[in-house]
Amino acid sequence: MPELPEVETVVRTLETLMVGCSFTDALVHTPSIVYHNEDFASFVAHHQLQSFKRRGKYILLGLGDNTLIIHLRMEGRFFINHEFNRPNKHVHVSFKLSDGRVLHYQDTRKFGRMLITHDVNQTLAHLGLEYDDPHFTVDYLIESMKNKKTSLKAFLLSQSVICGLGNIYSDEVCFRSRLHPEKRVSTLTLNEVQSIHREIKLVLSEAIALGGSSIRTYTNAMGIDGLFQLQLQVHMRAKQPCLVCGQIIEKTSVANRGTYVCKQCQKL
């Protein structure tokens, strides 16, 4: 958390709030958040925000010839006020905007990271396809799964194949596909791969439309919660009846992640 839908929502919100603005200064309160932080303020200052994009779970802010890459990790979030000083101990970077407002990056766990790069493609070369990339096809999934002994959930979590899926949406994709998350991808049938492909696109599109899932501390940059958590069919529903068959949903561990499964609907 946040995953692709939450990051996409944050990017859209930041664009709405800051389109046409420039960064005029920056304060790094916690140096470990920013790679090469000694030059950070000079890199971002006096550059207009030219683009607001997302790649996987990364926020990409275009600043002239450079791009500011931001990964929110577990608890990262943004908010805006008019005070350039540090508003609380969990704010780690503050950006002064050309209209006098200040964009603050807050992260209670300090896992998030920021980086200035000249070459986004090289920096993020490890990422796989986006869910809406025209090259993300059933054939692409089949080829990516070939000869792999990994579980379905581990495959979905691998950012090198499909980027942006995390724990929430991989659980939902597995459930909607009626496939157990421990099932080996090398054993999947064509119909099962087609179902996975379809549900990845549907689940992520629906979650984006609802502003993502507010399960812990996630809000967009306007402080507004997402609503997709109200549509979750299996994730975070341990000990509750399955919405399809009534079987009690169990929480287990797959790929070292807490995983929610209905063992009636999702048989190995």
Q: What is the dihedral sign for C-alpha 144, 150, 155, 159?
A: negative
* Residue in this structure with the two tokens 């070292």, named with its chain if needed: 256
Say whether 2 is catalytic.
yes
Residue from 6, 54, 55, 57 carrying the catalytic annotation: 57
CA distances from 248 to 131, 160, 163, 243, 262 (A): 31, 33, 31, 9, 7
CA distances from 111 to 41, 83, 205, 210 (A): 20, 24, 27, 26
Say whether 257 is catalytic.
yes
Burial 159-180 (b: 16+ CB within 10 A, else e): bebbbbbbbbbbbbbbbbbebb
Say whether 57 is catalytic.
yes
Q: What does the alpha-carbon distance between residue 143 and residue 157 come to, in Å, rounded to a whole number? A: 17
Name the percent of the chain in helix, strand, coil, to the closest 5. 30, 25, 45
Say whether 15 is catalytic.
no
Residue from 3, 75, 182, 199 carrying the catalytic annotation: 3
Residue from 110, 198, 257, 263 carrying the catalytic annotation: 257
Q: What does the alpha-carbon distance between residue 196 and residue 68 come to, in Å, rounded to a whole number? A: 33
User: Known catalytic residues?
Assistant: 2-3, 57, 257
